[in-house]
Structure 1
Amino acid sequence: MPLNYSKWDNLELSDDSDIEEHPNVDKKSMIRWRQRDIHEKREQQRLHILKLNNELALNGVLRPRITSVLDGVKSKGVSHYRAVQRRIKEQPSPDKPATGAPNQPTYDMMLGQLLGDVWREAAWLVDGDAKVEKGEVVVSKTGKKVDEKSGEPAWSNEMTMPDSKTEVMAQALAERLAWHVKGLDNRDAEVRDEIKKEEDARKKKITSGDIHDGFDSWAVNKSGPNPLDKPKPKPKSKEKETVQEIEVLNPGGSSSKATQVPAKAEEDELPLEAMTPALRKFINIPLGAFEESYKFIQNDSSVLTESAHNAVLLEAFEAERRGDKALARRCIHQSLIINYCRELGRDGVGLFFQRMISHNPKSLKMFADDFSRTYGHVERRSVELAKEAAADDGEREQIQLVAEDPNVKIGFNLPDGPPPEHLQIEGEAAEHLDMDKVREFLQRKWELFDGFPEQLKTALRTEKLDEVNKVLGNMRLAEAEEVVEQLQEGDMLSFSESGVRDMT
């Protein structure tokens, strides 16, 4: 059979022995310059791709926020737009891109700047003293682009806008916001095309940095802990152990050992680990989306720790106990990915995902069998624990809302939404109230209610005490206590005395 050497056509080595040097420059210097030129160009290409990916990530955060403002303007008008601007100014979120750059603007700062520009442009368009040029890109006034130096029309700075301009102003704001959303979509398409071209160009040449030895085991000095570094082995217990074999993707490496799992690994033996925000996002990745999981791990390897694995397993038990089987299955799926990656080590993570993404039949079957076996164990144990809890005759400690006085009835005072833009309070004591503090309290009340689990919010909206207590009874003790404290903080509990009181 003839040998195919075409795979070496794209090989690019910086120390080519046939390099043609300048007659006045020695060959070693030419080789070093050639090496440096290759590495500098590769590094520039890598940084350019990273910059483009960061731009996609930033647009992915800003687009839904702009779309939310657009939908609010369409349904509620100018008042919603102004409310968002006040919220950004008075209660800005600290969230920002993880670039590590000094003075990195937050997402709210960028959104606030955009909303200010859009308001200014829309106001001048409504005023009739400006027009749109260059395919809706530029709004110009007297031949100059509208910016902060242009200011705003006098009527747009007033607290109350003329009724004659409210509707047309909302329409202008919606049109400008829709143009920005469309611009983001077009820009994302351009960036993805550019990334593809850069990556294709990068793959055309094989450099020494692309060559890896996948069969030798190397020992290096570690500068710090890594999520895949395994703890020191603990003394073996006398309890019987079952051995679960994992397909070895990197034979000869130090990670080619079988995973030993205790035969009676119960959820109550797992340490209580907290679910981090990163893990919450990780367990929401759909089943079988190995490519998405791989990209997530590449960006955040903190999910590969042992504590993360334990937390995800514990969450699977809790989800199954609540009847949320979809979440339980996702947790089991992602916990197996963490387990495989930890067992295979650093070098094996890429090979594991390569097998899964390429739909290797043997690897997929092994993973599917492991998933079925693990989820079956969680499902069985959840049923057993439910039976044990039922046998306790309700002796498990619970939080319930019960009035000390049997004549007192507990009701609920729930918010309908955030406080309106124009807040009015009537009554004798209204003139003595601080409207800013009232608005702050109402906003806090809405945030507390909006942060409750959906099941609890549904029960609260029924305004039936039994329904609320049923949900509280299914919560953990600490979680239920926190909910009751928040209900009291938001003044969402009301107490009324039934019957007729004798005042004589």
Structure 2
Amino acid sequence: MPIDYSKWDKLELSDDSDIEVHPNVDKKSFIKWKQQSIHEARAKRNHDIANLETQISMYSHLNKRVDKLLSSVDDQSLAEKDNVTKFLNANFDKTEKPQGPNVDPEIPPFNEMVEDLFEQLEGDAKKQGLNPRDGSVIRSFVLGHRSRIDKVTVEAKQKLQELYKEKELHISSDDIKTGFDSGFMNRKANEEEEKKAADLQKVAVANGSKTTSDVPLPAPQLQFIEYGDDVMKLAPDTEEFGSLSVGDFKASEHFLLKHMQIISEQQKDALMMKAFEYQMQDEPKHAYQVIHQSELMGYVREIYNTKKIPFLHVGQMTEVIQLFFKRVIYNSANPAGKKSFLESVQSKFDHVKNRVKIIQQEQEQEGVETIQLKSLDESTELEVNLPNFESPNPEDKKKVEAFSKLPEKMKDAIKTKNLDNVNAVFAEIPIEEAESYLDLINEAEIIGVKALLENEEDFKHLQDEYRNQGRFEELTLEERSQEKQQAQPQEAVNTSDTVD
């Protein structure tokens, strides 16, 4: 039976141990950021699904009330607020209100929302110069509002279906179901727990306020700025915050109170990474500055995280910012908090400096390519030969001409006849320049090969070759050594003489 592995295509892994990152980015931090990005994207998706489900459910309840009003009440009664209120309370539960994890506990009941709508429509009629006491006018306004709700509902359902499909593409721990376990459930206790959970849900901390807008929705929740697709990306407001002076804490506090959405883990870390760029550009003052501002964001966000609110609650964040600056920064009676904060900034600044220093050293070692002269054959060595400056031979003159084109530093190294000195000059110059020097050296035949002969037989063989070429005089050994060899030919001689 073939095995279907397609279900594993839905796995969304957050640990990329083999990922390649920019040398300025710490690999462990990058993996942590990516893991966090996946989790936050998943949380946001679930959050959006819950909001849309609540929104669609709320529209359904409101439409029931509006439709029944339009079909059961005449025009004259529609223009009377008291009649509308009595009808709603007589036909629907006046305490029923939207339910959901992200719904403002202070949101008004459905009946009150409809009453507020009628008040708003009366105001709209006055603005257009129409009689708000004319029931037909109110009915036409209600029908127009009803069509807009239908349009928004269709769009919400389409978006919800897209989120459902996106959720199905990824497997998370929430999707794992136990297959073969059995157990006992106390139904009565379970019902009590559900009731408690529902009660707690009603009083859950959430953002928003009562509204009488054209479409009566719960107040939208603010979200922190998170660039999941680019962890290094900075929002313009974050960059501006990073440019504020280090000692001006009042300015930093006021800026954060006005731009709370930048206080996210991703923006804090991206601002910290900006310090590497400044330090690489030899701007330590700016590097320290952005680290300082990043730490302010980090301290505030750490305190806010203890509240376990998955979105930006303006009231709670305002309280956190003011509390941090009051008790940590401005607290002259107990300066330990501010001291600890500044020590943390200095520690991270030192880390950035050390890390940049290491990176620069690695780049210097790995990024420079040089030429070095070396023999690849163990039986030979390279030697440095000067051209014959006094020779009238045209070939020697060409060699002298090539030598004269070399820079003085290379000429001086060659005159020492030491290969190490020549290689030392090559090590100091770029590869392109070194190649041009090497062409001149080859033209002048400055670098030669010295053979190492390990026994007498090799020597005699080479000697015969040179004798045949009329160059025997260049290959004679010392006279004493040769006489000794002729006098004692029967003795085995083990030599390692070098022959030029």
Q: TM-score, normalised by structure 1?
A: 0.33
Structure with the larger helix share: 2
Q: TM-score, normalised by structure 2?
A: 0.33
